[in-house]
Structure 1
């Protein structure tokens, strides 16, 4: 890596791992970007045990990684929980950002019922494991027309997520702050992405981000659910490539 090589940092969602970014790692790595796609604390090959993992801990882990690698500024892309981690990263470390991608995510704090649902789900996972939860979740995660290989990959990630890490993240995410007022303070090039059939973070959530972030772009990926980067990688990557072209000089 040269000092001038720009860095793209990809942050996965719950209950996934770094392999969800494989198409983007391959494409943008081949285009001269240094692409970092780590497993978050408690996920994949980083199963650090904890009772609760707040978003600020995830953001701090990402900064520690950048510091160890000698990376000053990045374009940060996060999907779902990863997008909320990206917003937390902006809250704490905005000087480290050259660009921001918020995919299939939302900015408001959790509702009271939402907090209960997440903590109840954390308890359930610790009792039952990931298998049944993963099978229940799959039809909501990806659109019905998603390729079979994508569906199998998503199911594999969810089934194999470490239970303690997934439960800890659910508890931490239940207590996330409200980021809506902060959105107006985002000044780096920003892309908001959402699948047209996303049941978890529908178009209205993406429109709120787009309307509140000055100069942001909105890309709606037709026919995709909650994971457009896997379901429709060509369309997702085209939108990301435009953002990277704008952000590259600062990265």
Structure 2
């Protein structure tokens, strides 16, 4: 392993497990310390961020979050700002939920938990998970059974309880637009051009607020750009990590040995 590489924290999105990051972790195999932290164990963004930080080695590290994981990544920066060597934000945003968005999430929670809050709505959860497909992938991928099966299998791994906790965490998250201008580490913002969940305008906004950000628009991709167009997204992430490592060396910071 290269001793001049920065440890990397990765955070999955809604109904995703560590496999959402497989294109990147496969490309980085053996190159640096990489930890994928779950985002479905708590119903508060701050708690998920706290646990993720605790899992990282001492010293500086880079963090990248996908979708819901992007909200957690920004909270990681809030909690551990002095340790953040780089910030990657994929298919996400910096704004808090609108009241309308909160109501949509609450309806999904109620559907999953059941009308009486019994928590037995696993079949309904399966329907919810499958129903997301038409919104989270590009139209050209709607017949990609391998991709759709992976999305459903990840959702099944997270489970109905994890899904509910993720939705509650998302609906109560903070607006982080005040934080981003203070993040002077190398940053990367990535979004699919046809993302219906977190539109490209949200990525443009984040990139404009970050002092040192590259903005990458991924053609022919929806919300799941990292799985729909992995070569493009991984190339951008590897380029970003090169900037992070270079900045650490130039600053003379002690990059954790790996």
Q: TM-score, normalised by structure 2?
A: 0.87
1:175 to 152, 157, 172: 172
For residues 153 and 73 of structure 1, the distance between their equivalents in structure 2, rounded to whole angstroms, comes to 33
3-state SS in 1 of match to 2:139: coil
CA contact (8 A) 2:63 2:86 kept: yes
3-state SS in 2 of match to 1:224: coil
1:105 to 92, 116, 120: 92
Structure 1 stretch 236-245 or stretch 158-167: which is displaced more? Answer: 158-167
Structure-2 residue corresponding to 1:185: 182
1:123 to 107, 110, 128: 110
CA contact (8 A) 2:2 2:32 kept: no
Deviations 1:161-215 (A, max 9, x none): 2211211221122111111122211111000000111100111111000111112
Matched, 1:137 2:127: no
CA contact (8 A) 2:11 2:36 kept: yes
For residues 40 and 71 of structure 1, the distance between their equivalents in structure 2, rounded to whole angstroms, comes to 21
Matched, 1:114 2:113: no
Closer, same or farther: CA 89–132 of 1 in aligned 2, 3 Å: same
Structure 1 stretch 142-151 or stretch 216-225: which is displaced more? Answer: 142-151
2:44 to 39, 44, 54: 54
CA contact (8 A) 2:65 2:89 kept: yes
CA contact (8 A) 1:15 1:158 kept: yes
1:63 to 37, 53, 61: 53
* Structure 1 spans left out of the alignment, 5+ residues: 43-49
1:164 to 161, 165, 170: 161
3-state SS in 2 of match to 1:110: coil
Q: Tell which structure's C-alpha radius of gyration is larger.
A: 2
Matched, 1:40 2:39: yes
Structure-1 residue corresponding to 2:252: none
1:217 to 207, 214, 217: 214
Matched, 1:95 2:92: no
Structure-2 residue corresponding to 1:8: 8
Structure-2 residue corresponding to 1:46: none
1:82 to 64, 69, 77: 69
Q: CA deviation at 1:4?
A: 4.9
Structure-2 residue corresponding to 1:25: 25
The count of residues paired between Structure 1 and Structure 2 equals 238
Closer, same or farther: CA 189–5 of 1 in aligned 2, 3 Å: closer
Q: CA deviation at 1:41?
A: 4.2
3-state SS in 1 of match to 2:133: helix
Q: CA deviation at 1:105?
A: 0.4
Residue pairs, 1:191-210, within 5 angstroms:
191-210=188-207
Q: CA deviation at 1:54?
A: 0.8
Structure-2 residue corresponding to 1:72: 59
Calculate the aligned-residue CA RMSD, in Å.
Answer: 1.7
